[in-house]
Structure 1
Amino acid sequence: MLKMKLEALEHPSPDSVDAQNRNVFASTVLWLEDQKIRQYKIEDRVNLRKVDNLPEWEKAYQHYKIDVGIPKFDSPLEELSWLLSYAVRLEFLDAPENYQDINSKNILERDSKSVAPSIKAENLFDNIDFQHKDFISGVRAMAKKLQIAHHPNHLIQLEAIVRIVHERLAPEVRKRAAITGTPFPFSQGNDKVADDPALDYAVRILRLLQIQSLRQLQTLINETIVCVQDLTANPKTDTKLGKVGF
């Protein structure tokens, strides 16, 4: 609560003010009187301005406490906190409509946002409106060029485009040798998997997909073997240690 009051006054918190230093304390009280409280007229604040003459300022401050109505406290910090609360109250009463939308929930949300690190997105796709008509028409045109069936949801069509590009058009895929031969016939014959023709056809498709997955796995294994071979075929040599290898 005290933090909210201090932020409203645009003044450092009492914890950051050395209340035991009477010069600092006197300057803070003078600032509050000049900027927020205004108990006295400007010409009547002469003695409060004598912050470099503490005996005179102390006399003026004792009268000021009575005029403002500061209760009896045990420490200067408590007196300063009361003055801050009083200044906030006066500030609010001057224009209460300015603070109608301020509540504890808004303050907590604002503080959490200020503490959270600000990360500037550098990904181009973060700024794309995927529902924009130009984006949708672009997806439709690409799907038509790749002969992908129409779907009411253009994002699903986009997923199909990504899969086609990954499986058929990627440079590493185009270097692979084409699959030749027929793993098993699709025609209905004596090698049927299921009695139901529709089920038999679906099972055959699943088999093809499994073969494709196995081929992808084998490709990854081959690439791993090549990397290991390249690493072991060119060991680092440290003649100081009198050994070859890592």
Structure 2
Amino acid sequence: MFRRKLTALDYHNPASFDCKDETEFRNFIVWLEDQKIRHYKIEDRGDLRNIHSSDWPKHFEKYIQDVNCPFSAQERQESVDWLLGLAVRFEYGDNADKYKNCKPEAAANDSGKQSDPLINLDINNPDFKAGVMALANLLQIHRHDDYLVMLKAIRILVQERLTQEAIAKASQSKEGLPVALDKHILGFDTGDATLNEAAQILRLLHIEELRDLQTRINEAIVAVQAIIADPKTDHRLGKVGR
């Protein structure tokens, strides 16, 4: 699954690379940092280079946090693929002239046919997962084991809150309607007309807050229903059916 990116980076054995082999994996991370990413200064790479240290996993965890990788050290395949993507971007940036005349692979295979990237979308691709996770973190959406469910939640949030119409509506100032306090029965008497009027105002404000809360609850219910309405989603099990 990493072969194309490893080949693009001129890795010495792209076809046989195995990230499950601990020694090979650690050497690969050192090579990636030394040759391609170069996030640390040379003198700060000692802990990462000490691949035989029992503390190496801790240093690797710190490394992926320092480069802002959205995956943890336990998600090895995803983090490796993300690091490879970062390295490819740096490689292109450092050697832009070398690649300026290269055509995309799809164009090389069929220059007269445009490719829609969503047609062959692979939901198990680490790049796809990384993108969904990054969006979810940005929008503060709770993580879900199924990335498609998270993507649907992102779509609902964007449609409801981030469209031009929603932003314009939220930006409009709300003008209140005049209220005749004498038409609203307080239900008790404080013995002071001024206090009675203040109590009526507080009650009306409280009712308005309750209505706003109910509106938000209804919106949340609609959002959840939109997700579980998918026939692939078995909400009784709390997971997506296979």
TM-score range, shorter chain: 0.3 to 0.5
Query: TM-score, structure 2 length as denominator?
Result: 0.40
Larger Cα-atom Rg: 1
| More helix by percentage | 1
Query: TM-score, structure 1 length as denominator?
Result: 0.39
